[in-house]
Structure 1
Amino acid sequence: MISVLLNKGKEKAVLHQHPWVFSGALQALKTKPQNGELVKVLSQKEEFLAYGYFNDASRVAIRLLSFKEEEIPDENWWRERIKKAVNARTPILNDHNNTCRLIFSESDFLPGLIVDKYGDYLAVQILTTGVEQMKSVILDELQKLTGTKGIFDKGDDKARAHDGLAASEGLLWGELPPDFVQVIENGIKYHINIVEGQKSGFYCDQRENRKILAGFVKGKSVLDCFSYSGGFGLNALANDAKELVAVDSSALAMETLRKNVALNGFDPFKIAPIQNDVNKQLRLFKEENQKFDIVILDPPKYAPSRSALDRAARAYKDLNRLGMQVLESGGLLATFSCSGAVDMETFKQIIAWAALDAGKEVQIIHQFNQPADHPIRSSFPEGEYLKGLLCRVY
């Protein structure tokens, strides 16, 4: 195994078990490893620090796997790590919930691997060269542990490109998922399109937050923005919301939402699906003086990196200002950010700016977080990406 030495003073993060070693931390390589190859990481004094897989195509030159010299990340190591991650999700899966994230990359000590379970099928994202080289082992272990009917590759092309990998999508094992796979979350049925849908087809990271918000909707008019396949909206209908207006720019999202309303036997006259850009639609509602008791804002990632933070902050502020302006006085705003670069304190400040611009007063009555199947590793705070606020707006 090739040894890679770190520059003086660059071992601190590794000693704290952070899983990334950046290229600037490496001494000149005497022998260059192949991309994806397992290497031994040593301090400048040649003391053992960790094992990880190497890739000079990425700014993160080494992704660390094991911090014990006797624990070499061989095939058995990968199988045990996968087994631990999958078994940890057992309490989440039951008759009322058959969808969750089984493996969450660095947060499950498996950098570059994401696996989501959707009923009888798995959606996999293989994002790094090291994981790509272990693909056959990963697929074999996932089959054994889950009894899945099929494993579909939902490769994130941008993330793969960062690691020097070509775009990838398609069936990896078993049978191709049907056009619509049925899953259950919080006792609600969903038809989701794994093959054509966004990301891996369904955002199970909002499961607990949907349940919490559903406790406030009885008899209320609800506006669900960026509704996608109806996660928040269907929970609202299941908990006796008076009416639901769902807005999304995607025709597929609107089609899927209608199917999911029918699948659950909800009253189709209580829902108004609108295909439009959310910001444009909110401005229309404002012009028409249309008001709602509850507004849900769950936009896509506005800040994919810290360099985009200023632009994202302005976008979040404008969106939330518009959302506040279509709320009844005393109504509730459930607002979210899935941008890891936006921490909770920054998000609260953005909401405060939006309130000032909207001429509103805001009380934060609850903070939303990501659920147990999206754990936050103590040595990898970057794994905390989803945050939200439930605000009463006057």
Structure 2
Amino acid sequence: MTSIKKALRRAVLNESGVERVKSRHPWLFRGNLIQAPVCAPGDIIAFTDRRGQVLGWGLWSEGALCIRVLSFGSHEPDQMELLRSRVERALAVRKCWCAGEESFRWVHGEGDRLPGISADLYGDVLSLQLSVMGWYRHADEVAKVFRKVKKLSAIILRNDTKHLEKEGIPREIKPLLGEMPAEPLKVKIGETYELVDIAGGQKTGAYLDVRRVPALLDPLYEDAKVLDCFSYQGHFTLHALRKGAAEVTAIDQSQSALERAKENISINGLPCAKVTFRCGNAFDIMREMDADRARYDIVIMDPPPFSPARGQLDSARRGYKELAVRGFRRLDAGGHLVFMSCSHAFTRDMLLDTLNDAARDAGSVCRIVHEIHQPQDHPALLGVPETDYLKGFVMGVEE
């Protein structure tokens, strides 16, 4: 390749781009470029300053977020060698922080310096998402790297997330290695067993980022009345029953999720008779409960992301506040509210302010018992707020 061709394949950064590189941010945008490279989507390209000094290497995309950084410095990385090294490192970290667990996130994108890859392990089955072309076009090779690092019975490509079209990636769910599981997998998540549908479940099959949160309430479950909103397959409900809750009301808008929750209760040998299942919109059901004046010792609210983008922050705040007000009003004296947000654009301080306003409107005096953050297998990068998405609080209402 001539020097002219090499120059054309490089992205030249402006001052804002150079500053992002200095801060070791894993994303570069079109607005950070003076010159875009001449290359195909998914190619590894160098990015340089105005003088032509190579600052690093990344995967090229055609969208506004055009470079996912693989490495900094002048040395061009071998993509699959880099992948194997970081996959091995990610697993070593999990062996430290997730010792004894069979279900956890093995690779968390930028948090493991592998932007565009999410990999969740359920026993010996890997649920894999490849959301950038630079990895997707090598999907078979990527799968082989994971299986070389750890023995796996199957690797399932679970590419049904948002924004894939912007990358030119088709939505598809298929096996890359092994076969698609014929039945839901029975795996231990946290302290209970759950049936995980790799092909049809939400996210990659389950919500692994909240698997440890129910244990924060262990001192409170005995003989408690529990309201589990957005319960999905019953992860919080299972834990509450296991720890001696007197009764649980589980709300979800998916009837199939509630049916799976019933199966999960059964496989754990827990009393399904203690659970009331209500299928419908949580806002509507909470309004009905206001009229009924039902009271609970524990109210759990783990809603879907209301603000995936900054332009939706105001509507997200309104939604979160309404839920929190209704949650506070359903608490008996001395009860506890668990409230979480998984929207990275909705910051911790925004959530805290919203909960404070809700408590005031509900006439509640609260103390923060626990602060919730994403677990160690969902690492956030220091200085990269986009990777810090899960936040929440356990709040006790004073009598």
Structures share fold, TM-score greater than 0.5: yes
Conserved? CA contact 2:228–2:300, under 8 Å: yes
Give the deviation of 1:241 after TM superposition: 1.3
Q: Which residue of 1 aligns with 2:3?
A: none
Q: How does 1:219-368 map to 2 (within 5 A)?
A: 219-368=223-372
Contact 1:79 1:137 in 2 (8 A): no
1:335–1:163 CA distance, 2 compared to 1 (3 A): same
SS of the equivalent of 2:55 reads strand
Work out the CA distance in 1 between the residues paired with 2:151 and 2:307.
Answer: 37
* Structure 2 residue 196 is matched with structure 1 residue 189: no
Against the structure 1 CA distance between its residues 212 and 71, is the aligned structure 2 distance closer, same or farther, given a 3 Å change threshold? farther
- Which segment is superposed worse, 303-312 or 173-182? 173-182
In structure 2, what is the Cα distance between the partners aligned to 1:311 and 1:199? 23
Q: Contact between 2:216 and 2:370, CA under 8 Å: does it hold in 1?
A: no
Distance 1:303 1:314 in 2: 11
1:82 aligns with 2:87: yes
Secondary structure, in 3 states, of the residue corresponding to 1:11?
helix
Q: 1:179-218 to 2 correspondence within 5 Å?
A: 179-218=183-222
Q: How many residues align?
A: 391
- Give the conservation status (yes or no) of the 8 Å contact 1:210–1:232: yes
Equivalent position to 1:369, from 370, 373, 379: 373
Look up the SS of the partner of 1:321 in the other structure. Answer: helix
Quick check: 1:38–1:53 contact (8 Å CA) kept in 2? yes
Instruction: Spell out the pairing of 1:124-163 with structure 2 (5 A cutoff).
Output: 124-163=128-167
Q: What secondary structure sits across from 2:236 in the alignment? A: helix
Letter in 2 for 1:18: H
Q: 2:75 aligns with which of 70, 73, 95?
A: 70
Q: Matches of 1:78 and 1:145 in 2, distance apart? A: 11
Q: TM-score under structure 1 normalisation? A: 0.95
SS at match of 2:35: coil
Q: Does 1:14 align with 2:21?
A: yes
Pair 1:352–1:93, CA change in 2 (3 A): closer
Are 1:52 and 2:58 matched, yes or no? yes
Which segment is superposed worse, 231-240 or 163-172? 163-172
User: For the Cα contact (< 8 Å) 2:265–2:272, is it kept in 1?
Assistant: yes
The CA deviation string for residues 285-304 of structure 1, in whole angstroms up to 9 with x for no partner, is 11111100000000011111
Q: Which deviations, in whole Å up to 9, do the C-alpha atoms of 1:180-232 show, x marking residues without a partner?
A: 11110233111121111111110110122122123321221111111111111
State whether structure 2 residue 62 is matched by structure 1 residue 91. no
* Matched residue type, 1:77: L
State the SS of the aligned residue for 2:34: coil
Aligned equivalent of 1:28, options 32, 35, 49: 35
Q: 1:287-324 CA distances to partner (integer Å, 9 max, x unpaired)?
A: 11110000000001111111111111111001111111
Contact 2:119 2:129 in 1 (8 A): yes
The two structures have a TM-score, normalised by structure 2, of 0.94
Report deviation, 1:71.
5.3
The residue identity in structure 2 corresponding to 1:20 is W
Counterpart residue number, 1:37: 43
Gaps of 5+ in 2: 1-5
- Paired amino acid for 1:200: T
Measure, in 1, the Cα distance between the counterparts of 2:71 and 2:164. 23
Task: Report SS of the residue matched to 1:83.
Answer: helix
- More deviation, 12-21/150-159: 150-159
Give me the CA root mean square deviation. Answer: 1.5
Residue 179 of structure 1 contacts residue 195 of structure 1 at CA under 8 Å; is this kept in 2? no
Of 14-23 and 3-12, more deviation after overlay is shown by 3-12
Amino acid at match of 1:388: G
Consecutive aligned runs of 4 or more in structure 1 exceeding 4 Å deviation = 92-95
Q: What is the Cα deviation at residue 357 of structure 1?
A: 2.2
Mapped to 2, the partners of 1:23 and 1:142 lie a distance apart of: 32
Secondary structure of residue in 2 paired with 1:154: strand
In structure 2, C-alpha distance between the alignment counterparts of 1:343 and 1:142, rounded to whole Å: 33
Please give the secondary structure, in 2, of the residue aligned with 1:10. helix
**Any idea what the Cα deviations from partners look like across 1:247-284, whole Å, max 9, x if unmatched?**
11101111110001110101122111211211111111
Task: Quote the Cα distance in structure 1 between the aligned partners of 2:270 and 2:242.
Answer: 8
Percent identity over the alignment is 31
Counterparts in 2 of 1:203 and 1:85: CA distance versus 1, 3 Å: same
Q: Distance in 1 between matches of 2:56 and 2:143?
A: 25
